[in-house]
Structure 1
Amino acid sequence: MTRHNRSLFKRLLYGFISVMMLIWLANLALDVYETRTSKRRDMQRELRASALRIMVLMQTVGERPPEQIKPLVHKMEQLHYALYTELGWYIPALQTQVWRHGALVYASEDQGLPPTDAAAGPYGQPLKDGWVVSVETDAATGVTVRMATEVIGEWMLQVSSIGYYFAPLLFSIPFLLLPAWLIIRVGLRPLKSIVGEIEERSATDLSPLAPSPYLELSPLVGSVNRLMERLTERLEREQEFLIDAAHELKTPLSIIQINADTLTTTRTAQRVEDAGQGLRTGVERATHTVHQLLALARSGGDRDHTSLMPRDLVELVADRLAQAGQIAATRHVEIELQAPERCMLAMHLESMASLIDNLVSNAVKYSPEGGRVTVAIAEADGRIVLSVADQGPGIAPEMQRKVFERFFRLPDQDQAGSGLGLAIAERAAARNQGRIRLANRDDGPGLQVEVSFDGVRE
């Protein structure tokens, strides 16, 4: 099933369109609010002007009876309607009431408003939402005019205003989107050029990319160059590893080849026995080297610390010492464990077991017959420390860093080995968030190896 990747170009373009729409909507809301506010204010002003004209009329007619007043006030209402009629606008409903000395002398039809309550007076008449009112009073004549009207546009936008609001958006879209499309497309060209440069390279070309003149792309180019640098270093290490491994396997394979040839050509019993022993020695050495190479590869193949699980370090060490006991017994070496009952440490089980095995086997190998190897587990300064001490010849301080290199063996070394034990131990310690340190013992001959862990404990 084909997975469609997201488009950065479309993301930027849609973002531009979204911002443009938000600005337009905000402007539309502000414009509608201001239009409605100004409309109410204008209608309030017009309503007050009409009320004042009726007030002047009432001052003119004096104390005439209501029957004579009604036609005159009705004509004034028609003058108020005339403006809306001439412009062809929607004609709003209008209600007019006139009081004289507290008595209602004129009331127009209640167009959309609750019925007039004469007993409530001019200030107690009910008013609905969407209506404005103007009350004018003349204390000298005792006349009060109350006029109320609904506001145009309070409940709908006029059809002509729809075009007014949408026309700028419709006209501006092509003139804004086309430049935006062009700007984004041109702006992404430097990124495409970097992609093209990487695509054109061969699988073996890990040379750094040319620095980008753009501030935003410089971190990307820098990250890619650092990644290529790490890959180059790793490939170089792996190549060195293959060369060293081939060189290390060359000797036991040569021994196997020589002794195999001897077995096929000699007839002397002693020569046959010696060749058989040499063949077994070569096979054992080659097998040991292969196992060590596999342990080295596994010890640092995965540095993901999220795979560390809390386990009892004391239980694991005791189990590995039990397996090493047979080898120690053949050399009459005693192994002593000094540890608390429990010590929980977040660890990777396989690499931690490889670390313990290599440290203990090295200590047993280099201790003299009848010697003692001390394995201790302690907690100091918030860290868990695993130490392995032997009674061997130790290592000169200037050589203690060199022995962690793969296939390195001390010049005066007479013990058989591949030179990988401490390299495996160092990588296994690092995988378990630990650091390894060598030191010659102060209380006598021998080497002490300490591994301190900062891993999560429970």
Structure 2
Amino acid sequence: MKNRSLFRRLLIGFISVMAVVWLANLALDVYETRTSKRRDMQRELRASALRILVVMQTMEGRPPAEIQPVVHKMEQLHYALYKELGWYTPALQTQVWKQGSLVYQSPDAGLPTTDAAAGPYHQGLRDGWVASVESDAATGVTVRMTTEVIGEWMLQVSSVGYYLAPLLFSVPFLLVPAWFIIRAGLRPLRSIVGEIEQRSGANLSPLASTPYQDLQPLVGSVNRLMERLTERLEREQEFLIDAAHELKTPLSIIQINAESLGEARTPQRIEEAGHGLRTGVQRATHTVHQLLALARSGSDRDHASLLQRDLVELVADRLALAGQIAATRGIEIELQAPEQCVLPLHLESMASLIDNLVSNAVKYSPQRGRVSVRISSAALPVVLSVLDQGPGIAPDMQRKVFERFFRLPGQDQPGSGLGLAIAERAAARNHARIRLDNRDDGPGLRVEVDFG
């Protein structure tokens, strides 16, 4: 894609404004030419026609041969003003009618052929010409004069320079100052760009405030972005430290048991070392899978992938997979849901949320216990609930368990402490919230996912 220039954009904008002003001035000039000048020339034409009419009154009874030279001289008087000022002399046609008969007509002026039978009021007229018809009822004389409007010729191609000259002469005197003004106006912006370019990748401190009101939103937006990046980098650094610490224990177990396996001499010792080795690998594998799930369930990802899906069908599919694990401990999983509940969901993160909530419920429920999964859609918002029969969580710890790698004190169940953190981020990606509460109808924890 071709790079665009803000400087060029502003300069083109300035030129465009000049062109619009010039076009507006041209339009005004055209309007003056076609209206004001037309009216002025028609008044002059009427005055000349009235003068000829007065002269004709003094020539009552004269033959046409005597009338024609006099009218021709009157035409020349009409031209006198234009010739004296050196203006362009417009074409003119004069017609004199007496008792309905044409007694005088100027030489051909480029007008349509005169139709004597049509009379003075129905003669053809070219565009850009005006006519004045004056009559004297007492003598039966009618004078019709037509002329082209001065100014129409200025619109011809040969006179384009008349309009372009002011624009062409003024452009250099306007663009050079505009060039310096725009460059000076963009200097504070270039200063901000220079400050950012000089920084190292590790410097995310805020930019210095600017005295220019127009640039304050830009500086503020950049500073807010720097702040969000700083927070994210800090969270990622904490995550890496916590992940390394969490993986250190199973890796240590693997190393110790691997060394023991190499030194073991009795079948019992080999069996114990092999069991410890498998336990360490299993724990490390589980932690790695949970770390990957946590990374994929980020709530700051784009929500464009949310599609209309049936929550009931998705929950039923995930419970079918969890049922195999629950069966090994004799735990029953029940689902209470309507036939269908369609919501905008992200399939992968929603599956991770359900798996973690149900896995935790199965893990902390006693042998032969029951896990209930309910979907309530009778009234908005839709709520997904998972209830177990475990020990529950103290109210003062219910917010803390969502922290990564946090495990309740005295907890003897194996785990990485990432399940609820994954579930919370997956819920946020699906525009939902998670609430924890201890059950009222007996021991156990109630986890509710609110899609409001």
Shorter-normalised TM range: over 0.9
Structure-2 change in CA distance of 1:295 and 1:120 (3 Å): closer
1:448 aligned partner: 446
Match for 1:368: what amino acid?
P
Structure 1 residue 210: Cα displacement: 1.0
What is the TM-score normalised by the length of structure 1? 0.92
Give per-residue Cα distances to partners, 1:131-179, cap 9 Å, x unaligned. Answer: 2222233344443322222223325548996554333212211111011
Shift of 1:185: 0.5
Please give the residue correspondences for 1:190-229 in structure 2 after superposition, counting only pairs within 5 Å: 190-229=188-227
Structure-2 separation of matches of 1:161 and 1:118:
37
Q: Which residue of 2 aligns with 1:136?
A: 134
- String of CA shifts for 1:198-220, please: whole Å, max 9, x gaps: 11111111111111211111111
2:388 to 375, 387, 390: 390
Q: CA deviation at 1:267?
A: 2.4
Q: List runs of 5+ in structure 1 lacking aligned partners.
A: none
Which of 232, 235, 243 is equivalent to 2:233?
235
Cα RMSD after superposing both structures: 2.2
Q: Which residue of structure 2 lines up, in the alignment, with residue 16 of structure 1?
A: 14
Letter in 1 for 2:230: T
Call closer, same or farther: CA 1:50–1:180 in 2, change over 3 Å: same
Q: Shift in Å at residue 334 of structure 1?
A: 1.0
Summarize the Cα distance change of 1:405–1:122 in structure 2 as closer, same or farther, 3 Å threshold.
same
TM-score normalized by the length of structure 2: 0.93
Deviation at 1:237, TM superposition (A): 0.7
Q: Distance in 2 between matches of 1:163 and 1:252?
A: 89
CA contact (8 A) 2:400 2:406 kept: yes
Distance change >3 Å, CA 251–CA 431, structure 1 → 2? same
Could you tell me which runs of 5 or more consecutive residues in structure 2 were left unpaired when the two chains were aligned.
Answer: none
Q: 2:4 aligns with which of 6, 10, 18?
A: 6
Cα deviation digits, residues 88-126 of structure 1 (max 9, x gap) = 554433222223455443333453334444444433434
1:65 is matched with which residue? 63
- Relative to structure 1, is the Cα distance of residues 108 and 174 closer, same or farther in structure 2, using a 3 angstrom cutoff? closer
Match of 1:370 in 2: 368
Residue number in structure 2 paired with 1:347: 345
What amino acid sits opposite 1:135 in the alignment? V
Matching residue within 298, 301, 304 for 1:303:
301
SS of alignment partner, residue 168 of structure 1: helix
| Identical-residue share of aligned pairs (%) | 81
Q: Which of 408, 411, 431 in structure 2 is aligned with 1:433?
A: 431
Change (3 A) 1:129 1:343: same
Instruction: Indicate if the aligned counterparts of 1:110 and 1:116 stay in contact, CA closer than 8 A.
Output: no
Contact 1:334 1:373 in 2 (8 A): yes
1:97 aligns with 2:109: no
Per-residue CA deviation, residues 199-247 of structure 1 (Å, 9 max, x unaligned), is: 1111111111111211111111111111111111111111111111111
- Mean CA deviation greater in 116-125 or 329-338: 116-125
State the distance in 2 between where 1:162 and 1:284 align. Answer: 88
Q: Check conservation: 2:130, 2:147, Cα contact below 8 A.
A: yes
Do 2:299 and 2:425's aligned partners in 1 also have CA atoms closer than 8 Å?
no
Counterparts of 1:12-411 in structure 2, within 5 Å, are 12-85=10-83, 89-157=87-155, 162-300=160-298, 303-411=301-409
